Structure formats: C-alpha cells, structure tokens
Amino acid sequence: MRIGTRGSDLALTQSRHVRGLLGGTDADIPLEVITTTGDRFLDVSLQRIGGKGVFTKELEEALLAGRVDLAVHSLKDLPTENPPGLLVAALLVREDPRDALVAARGLGLAALPSGSRVGTSSLRRRSQLLARRPDLTVEDLRGNVPTRLKRVEEGRYDAVVIAAAGLRRLGLADRITELIDEEIMLPAPGQGVLAIQTRADDEATIAAVRRLHDEAASAEATAERAFLAGLGGGCLVPVGARGRVMGDRLRLDGVVGHPTGRPVVRDAAVGAASDAAEIGRALAATVLAHGAREILAEVRSDEVFP
C-alpha cells in the first residue's frame, strides 16, 4: 500500500498519522511525495493560479495511474466532485475547525492596531476579517505553515491567520494568539477533516481505510460541501461553512462574503443529520436568493478555471 502526499511539513505529518492509524511503517506503507500546482507556484496568488484542485489534481492523477493506492488530503482542498474512478473512502475524526490568529506581541484580533498587516492567501478569511475589522491591511501570503509563522517573527506581517488544525497537528498550538470565534469567522467547508481518497474499484484499500471513517465528521462535512457545491463549488471562493452534529440533528451555518468585507450574506439551517446534503443545498439556495449570487459572480469574473 502506497500513500500519495504533498511534500509540506503539514502534509507529511498528516500522511504519517494516517499510516500510523493503519498500523503501518515506512517499510510496508511508504509515502510518495507528489508536487501539486499549488506547491509549484508559491510566489503567485491562488486566485491567479485559478481553477479547482490546485492542491489535489496531481495526487488524483497518481491514484488513477496506479502510482499510489491512497491519497491523504485536507478535505477543504478537495473539490466537491470526485474524478471518475475515484472516491473518498474515509473521513477522519475532525480536529478543531476554527481559524487561528498568530500575532506579534500576543495581540488578539480586537487589539490589533489600525492598519496592521495581516497575511492570508484565502479570500474567505480576507472577507470575514475585513467585515469585522475594515481598518486592517489584509495582504496575500502564500507558503507553508512554518514560512507564514516566520513572516510574523521577521516583522513583515503583524499577524497571520492559519487553520488551527494545522498548527495543532504540527505541535505548534502554543503559537496561537487567538482562536477566532465562529461568530466572526466561519471556517472553510471541511476544514479540520482529513480525507482518504482511493480508486473506486480498489476493494482491499477501501476496506483497510474504511474503519477509520467517522460518521459525525462525515455528516458535518457532507452538509458543508453540499452548501459549497450548491454555490458552484471551488475552494478559492469566499465561502465559509460550519456544520455541527447535535445528537440526531445538524445545524449548518454558512457565509458568502465579498473580498472587500462588504457585502456579507450569512444564514443557518437545521435538520436531521441524516439529511446533511439536503440541508447544505437548501442553505445554498437561501443565501443565493439573498445576495450571494451577485457576490460570487463578481468574484468569479476575475478567476480563471482551466
């Protein structure tokens, strides 16, 4: 069994975690590092690279070609539709899905001085930051987690916003200045969830990884990704979503924001957890009717989808 993975510290840590859960070692479950489009062009904004699957396409091609038997993805990077011949065989127990602020001098979001430079490559984070703090200067910042943290240490940025899950998995939770409340910033759909993708006809690998599947994470992610798909998909659009399983019920909060911070359309829906996909689709229809359609049309007019 061979695992396909990106080469960043975080991706390798996540893939080794999956290998450990499968009871394997480097000898019997080797990792094959695959460079994705998003990894090759670190000096270009994600919006300029454009398209879906900038961090996943090459991994999926390796799976289809038989070079690897499974690929480990951060679910938030994975397009909402699988290519023919592939499937997501398991979603792991969810790590904290919130976004984290890492700021100089230990300042929280409310305490950052006006004009502070905040780095993020995400339109979703940019839109929600500016909705709360329009006086901040939000600038594009690419690179792996250690690189982004170093930019704060060097004084090139006053703060950066990074997924809390990634910091925790790398043992860097002590660097978190503030876990941003979801009333302020909803995470990306699927944030904090690891996905294991396999070939659809590889019954042995599917059976091996299926025991790692977590139903609560699956229900939450299903609602969030159905919401994203209902809005037209794409991991680069300024869309946030957070599903929460509460017994046999599920609440889904969703937001579509303009990259300038205004306008913002946010709403919620509640239903049976077994109807997660329908909850997501219904919430997408609601926000589209309340102004999200116009926001997304403007954002996508500047995107390039190959």
Which residues are catalytic, by number? 77
Does the N-terminal peptide bond of residue 263 adopt cis geometry, omega within 30 degrees of 0? yes
- What is the C-alpha separation between 250 and 259, in angstroms, rounded? 29
Q: Which residues pair with 271 in a beta bridge?
A: 250
Which residue, 225, 196, 200, is CA-closest to 213? Answer: 196
Would you say 212 and 24 are in contact if contact means Cβ atoms under 8 Å apart? no
The H-assigned helical ranges of the chain are 9-21, 37-40, 46-49, 57-65, 123-132, 145-153, 164-169, 203-210, 215-230, 276-287, 293-300
Which residue, 222, 247, 227, is CA-closest to 239? Answer: 227
SS3 breakdown of the chain: % helix, strand, coil, rounded to 5? Answer: 40, 20, 40
- What is the C-alpha separation between 102 and 148, in angstroms, rounded? 9
